[in-house]
Amino acid sequence: MNDTGQELIASPAPEKTHIKKKIHIIQKESALTAIYASGNLTASQKKVFNAFLYLGKDMVQSEIFAPEEGFVVPVSMLKSLIGDQSNNYTYLKRTVESLQDFTVESNVLGKDKQKWDRFSLVAGATIENGTLRFSFPHQIIDALKNPKMYVTLDLDEINRIDRKYAISLYEIIEDYKKLPALPKWSIDEFRKALDIPDSSYKTYRDLHRRVVEPAVEEINDKFGMGLEYVLYSNLLAISSTDLAGSTENSVMAKRVRMPRITHIQFRLVKEKMQERLSYKSFVEEMRAKYMPNPTQGHFPAIDNIDGKIFKVDTTGRLYVQHISINGTIEIEELSPEKSDTYWKMLWKKSLIKLTEENPDE
């Protein structure tokens, strides 16, 4: 019996054969990572828009694609892409259809020197009878057909982010991280790039407490990026470590009067980034090495820890297989957060094993 409960004819163990894995990667135009929608885009709407880009990419490359007809896919595909395991159909439908209400200003950080006009985020979107239909304005269609300046993003990683400002900051940092140094942005540019309403968090102290600190903390906690920042005023520069609310002598803890902050510049701690790259390389290696081949009944196990058998499915997602005493197979699907916890556990176990095998290195 295979992992889906179907009977298979017993056969000798096949040679290692990999089918093409389908990790949910998008190439998102840099101009679309920093968009301003008057501060109204929610985290769910940002995730759905990214899923639309993923779904639209392959379709627009087709010779038979007709922009006026838009895109039609099963709603289950959208739910998979945004990590939605709920049955709240009404909320999902409302989120999808609300995207057509937004006119956005893109490229607000000016990374792409090409001029981008204001345009609707989507031209139309609806869910009916289990089918998703949506369409894009010509600016996004053109960007999907011929991406010129883009960032590569993993939708599964973005789905792990809860805060809407953390999603925007994560995408922007990913877009700029290969530069020798991240740019210094004015506070006005930064606010607009994160889609913060003009009426909210008018003082930097509020902006720090409600936006910057929570976003940086979530990104570091979930991805180990070692993200820090420096604030600039006309008189001095203040590092994020000096602003840490948990530090007894920090600026925030003392509640001292802050100078007027004019700019912010992010930076990535090299050691943390190297650790993150090591972790990501491990995950990619495991996905490739243990990719199943259902046609040959080949479902290799990565590891067995305390009765939990860890495997990846044909999309590269981690899951846990439980086998009862009577031989019944149960599959445990994992949330993005739980999947990350287990991946890190497997990664750390591999590091310990490597150290034991090479004690002098």
Give residue 254's pLDDT: 52
What the block records as the tokens of 333 is 């699907």
Contact predicate 104/118, CB 8 Å: yes
Architecture per CATH, domain 23-159, reads as Orthogonal Bundle (1.10)
Q: What DSSP string describes 286-340?
A: HHHHT--BGGGTB---SEEETTEEEEE-TTS-EEEEEE-TT--EEEEE--HHHHH
Q: Could you give the maximum distance between any two Cα atoms of the chain, in Å? A: 75
Question: Bridge partners of 332?
Answer: 320
Give residue 29's pLDDT: 93
Give residue 250's pLDDT: 52
Give residue 4's pLDDT: 41
Q: What is the pTM of this model?
A: 0.74
| Domain range list for the chain | 23-159, 180-268, 276-356
Contact predicate 214/262, CB 8 Å: no
3-state secondary structure of 233: coil
Q: What is the pLDDT along the chain (361 residues), one digit of tens a residue?
A: 444 443 333 333 333 333 334 578 999 999 999 999 987 899 999 999 999 999 998 888 777 788 778 899 999 999 999 988 888 889 999 999 999 999 999 999 999 888 788 999 999 999 999 999 999 999 999 999 888 899 999 998 999 899 999 999 999 999 998 888 899 999 999 999 999 998 999 999 899 999 999 999 999 888 888 899 999 988 778 877 666 544 444 555 555 567 789 999 999 887 776 777 788 888 888 998 999 988 888 899 999 988 889 999 888 889 999 888 787 888 998 887 788 889 989 988 888 876 665 555 4
